[in-house]
Structure 1
Amino acid sequence: MASTDAGVTGPTRASIDDKTLRTDRWWIYPLTTFVVFTAFVVYATIRAFMGRDYYAAPYLSPFYSPCLGDCVEGASDFGQPFGWFPLSAALIILIFPLGFRLTCYYYRKAYYRAFWLSPPACAVAEPHKGYSGETRFPLILQNIHRWFWYTAVLVALVLSFDTVLAFRNEDKEWGHMGLGTLLMLVNIVFIWLYTLSCHSCRHIVGGRLRHFSKHPVRYRMWTWVSRLNTRHAAYAWISLFSVAIVDFYVYLLATGTIDDVRFF
């Protein structure tokens, strides 16, 4: 229910002039989240609009996968139906993984506290005078998270395909293993862990069931996803870093800054 008289001066708040009685460094968590998220957004935005240095055979940056626009030779494995698109090819696909993360339950808590200070920490009053929850635009759009989950699964499947292709060399011969292959392999593992540990995934596999005993397969899946869900926040952070690391490594290779470390 929306409230028009909330915040520090609301009638349900204690009559304390101080912002909080906490003496610990409660501000470290929201500040760290703010800095890290901002850094990632800036980096991802720059890379998405660059439109170059995203492919170094056999590695394709996850920011540009699948590459459906006017892509460099070898980067497009699913055709180029948006070859007419005048901007970077990354902007065609990034809306889906980005939308999935922005509407994620964990990320909501993180950026609500770090960017909107709603509230910044436990027992720390928020500065807002009113609160309407996620019942109005634009926050009501958070409720389409489940639909973004379906697109996130498709993107994860494509990234899995890219990881398999990373075991080929420049001549498309199997048997290649480089540092880029290893980084992409680690990244896709955490991408799947983050995607499958999602609260929406948990509801999809086990929601709306009145009797688990009558659905043993879905119950087992629900139990497995529930266990993953306890570490959803960790997978969210790790996959955020792994995606950026893979993209940066591909960028260094594509620009000729470094050479790929080959294992065999």
Structure 2
Amino acid sequence: MTTTEDTAVSPPPRAAITPRNLRTDSWMRGPILTVVGITIWVVYATFRVFYQGDYWVPDYHYLTPFYSPCVSEGCIPDSAHFGRFLPDSPLIPYAAVSLPFLLAFRLTCYYYRKAYYRSFWLSPPACAVPDGHAKYTGETRFPLVGQNLHRYFFYAAFLISVINTYDAILAFHSPEGFGFGLGNLVLLANVVLLWCYTFGCHSCRHVMGGRLKHFSKHPIRYRLWTISSALNNRHMMWAWITLASLALTDFYVMSVAAGWIDDLRFVN
């Protein structure tokens, strides 16, 4: 009789070689660039979130996405489209309602997991390169077991994208009436890119086409699933582009609000 031990498959031992790996290409370039890029973005975003200034342009209703929705009692009244109910404190971001969910959505994103696992944790840093840790436990322990909540953070991110879209539309209606400037294009482009990233999320793709036995009986969901799948193929690209668009949009609004530059107006 064949036992379990007889049929078990064990991986072969590692070859007795001195080098840690046999790769001769510049495999460290990817992890290094990822660390540099994410670190720069986190430093800038953290500064802006707690700066609590130059986030609103009253003449054109420009609101930076880093402060949306602005719900602190310290918010300029016209910028608080959904009321002001959080206490005004230098330790509490003006958009404290949305920022934790957006951070959690990005941290648990499938692409970002790969990015910071490989770059910050070296787990592993690249294909065919040994893990930087002696023990591997996967995502079965705290806090990594929380990665399974990604599907729920997606719903929050979807709602916040709706709010960002509302902000971009509202910016076309300044106190002087309908207006259109370079800032509108910046806000609108950022919203479109955010939707490409959000709608291409793996969880969104499953929401659109998951648990269906016959696509032919659900043509609308099938169409949405195909669009989400197409965006999902470039999920890494959208992940990086939206980091850049968020920072650039915030910097543009800050520059106009601080009076460093004037908004280029096309209409009104």
Scaled by the length of structure 1, what TM-score is found? 0.91
Partners of 1:49 and 1:90 within 8 A in 2: no
Distance 1:11 1:56, change over 3 A: farther
Distance 1:112 1:172, change over 3 A: farther
Q: Distance in 1 between matches of 2:223 and 2:169?
A: 29
Partners of 2:55 and 2:257 within 8 A in 1: yes
Runs of 4+ with deviation above 4 angstroms:
none
Q: Distance in 2 between matches of 1:213 and 1:15?
A: 55
1:115 paired with 2:88, answer no
Q: Distance in 1 between matches of 2:18 and 2:97?
A: 50
Q: Look up the equivalent residue of 1:144 and give its one-letter code.
A: L
2:177 to 152, 164, 173: 173
Distance 1:101 1:172, change over 3 A: farther
1:149 to 151, 154, 163: 154
Identity over aligned residues, as a percent? 54
Q: Distance in 2 between matches of 1:13 and 1:39?
A: 38
1:39 paired with 2:40, answer yes
1:101 paired with 2:122, answer no
Q: Look up the equivalent residue of 2:97 and give its one-letter code.
A: I
Cα-to-partner distance string for 1:213-239 (whole Å, 9 max, x where unaligned): 332322222122111111111111111
Cα-to-partner distance string for 1:239-261 (whole Å, 9 max, x where unaligned): 11001111111111122111112
Which residue of structure 1 lines up, in the alignment, with residue 84 of structure 2?
A: 80
Distance 1:220 1:125, change over 3 A: same
Q: Please list every run of 5 or more consecutive structure 2 residues that lacks an aligned counterpart in the other structure.
A: 1-10
Q: Distance in 1 between matches of 2:14 and 2:157?
A: 40
Q: Out of 225-234 and 37-46, give the one that drifted further.
A: 225-234
1:254 paired with 2:264, answer no
Q: Considering only CA atoms, is the larger Rg found in Structure 1 or Structure 2?
A: 2
Q: Distance in 2 between matches of 1:157 and 1:172?
A: 25
RMSD over aligned CA atoms reads 1.5
1:172 is displaced (CA, Å) by 5.0
Secondary structure of 1:263 counterpart = strand
Partners of 1:51 and 1:90 within 8 A in 2: no
Where in structure 2 are the equivalents of 1:105-254 lying within 5 Å? 105-169=110-174, 171-174=175-178, 176-254=179-257
Q: Look up the equivalent residue of 1:217 and give its one-letter code.
A: I
Which residue of structure 2 lines up, in the alignment, with residue 62 of structure 1?
A: 65
Q: Distance in 2 between matches of 1:141 and 1:180?
A: 38
Cα-to-partner distance string for 1:149-199 (whole Å, 9 max, x where unaligned): 000111000000011012123x1511x111111111110000000000000
How many residues are matched?
A: 252
Secondary structure of 2:25 counterpart = coil
